[in-house]
Amino acid sequence: MVKGETAVVGSMSDESDAVEETETVEDDASEPEAEGLQDGEFVRIAYTARTVDEGQLVDTTDEAVAEEEGVADQGEFEPRTIVLGEGHLFPGVEDDIRGKEIGDEGSVVVTAEEAFGAYDEEQVRTVSADKIDEDDRYPGARVQIDGEGGVLETIIGGRARVDFNHPLAGEDIEYEYELLDTVEGDLEQARGLLNMMLDLDLEMWVETDEVEETRVVEPDEDEAEDGDSEASDDEPAEPETVTETVEKRTLYVESTPQLAMNQQWMMQKQQIAQQLVELTDIDRILIQEILDGGGMGMGMGGMMGGMGGGAGDVDLEEALEEADIDADEIADEL
């Protein structure tokens, strides 16, 4: 009787295991691998965005469209590199792209709320005209009031009515796009991202460098307990500083006056660098300023000569005059 009961229990257990295995197989089968483009992929995309109501151009990567709209002189118009899922496009556009294949085209409307926000009447406010530069006191002028941007609607006497809504607030935006290619390799990925973020075509390259890295190693608790018996129990083991040589994938970017003066770069260089490191195989970024000595007017010899450094036949005032530098202005600045 006991054996019979044991046999029944064993049979039930086998059936339970079989059911669990079946459920596991079914669960695995119910989660097919996602097809098409997915988050994290670098995609080269061409697109044009317009307002739905009036067809006003919002953005484009098409040079022909830019020329038709008379804005071809406002920057470079070429396909851009984005990383799907990183917010480089409105969420509605990214949702439409997911699952599609390279070569596909699409069209999607982004609502005003998701794009530039609904129009808010309370954002139209009256301010003192004294806060507006005299050259900007005309309807339609873009103005800055206490650090906030707006459009001047009317100005009467000493009062001005300013609309602080985004110029495209309340507008649904239609995107028409084509997926051109995926972007592979950390150099091309970095080039595409920087071009998209800064609208600059920069000289850059990637090298693998050996870099010395210092890190602090905490003592192993077990080793500390089994350590020198003569050591005092009141003195905990000290952390150890270790210096080691590691390989780093380094992105070198040649600095230019355009990069140095780029507002986006000046305000967000740390965030941009962090995004590049997180999204690519690059470990660090070095900005290099290359000085070739061209156009400096006078060499080190002339400078040293003027300071009694060896070329005593050079007259400092004459050298400044040849370089078109006003000595009095330099003295005033000092």
Span 121-163 CATH architecture:
Beta Barrel (2.40)
Give the Cα separation of 185 and 36 in Å (integer).
Answer: 20
- The model's confidence at residue 271, banded by pLDDT at 50, 70 and 90, is very high
Q: What residues are paired with 51 via a beta bridge?
A: 173
pLDDT band, very low/low/confident/very high, at 30 (cuts 50, 70, 90)? low
In the numeric block, the tokens 């005593």 are attached to: 312
| Topology alike, domains 42-115+171-181 and 121-163 | no
pLDDT at 160 over 50: yes
Q: Using pLDDT thresholds of 50, 70 and 90, give the confidence band for residue 232.
A: low
Q: What is the pLDDT confidence band of residue 13, given thresholds at 50, 70 and 90?
A: very low
Query: Which residue would you say has higher pLDDT here, 147 or 47?
Result: 47
Mean per-residue pLDDT over the chain, rounded: 82
Residue type, 56: Q
Query: Using an 8 Å Cβ cutoff, are 189 and 81 in contact?
Result: yes
pTM summary value: 0.69
Phi, psi of 150 (to 5 degrees): -160, 180
Class of domain 42-115+171-181: alpha beta
Average pLDDT over residues 137-158: 92
Question: Per-domain residue ranges for the chain?
Answer: 42-115+171-181, 121-163, 184-218+241-288, 300-333
Ranking 11-20, 100-109, 191-200, 247-256 by mean pLDDT, the lowest is 11-20
- The strand pair at 204-217 and 240-254 is best described as antiparallel
Question: What pLDDT score does 238 carry?
Answer: 83
- Residues facing 225 on adjacent strands: none
Tell me the fold of 184-218+241-288. Answer: Alpha-Beta Plaits (3.30.70)
Q: Which pLDDT band holds residue 329 (cuts at 50, 70, 90)? A: low
By CB atoms closer than 10 A (0-12, 13-18, 19+), residue 160 is: buried
Q: Using the structure block, give the residue that is written with the tokens 């390989």.
A: 247
Is residue 174 within 8 Å of 109, Cβ to Cβ?
Answer: yes
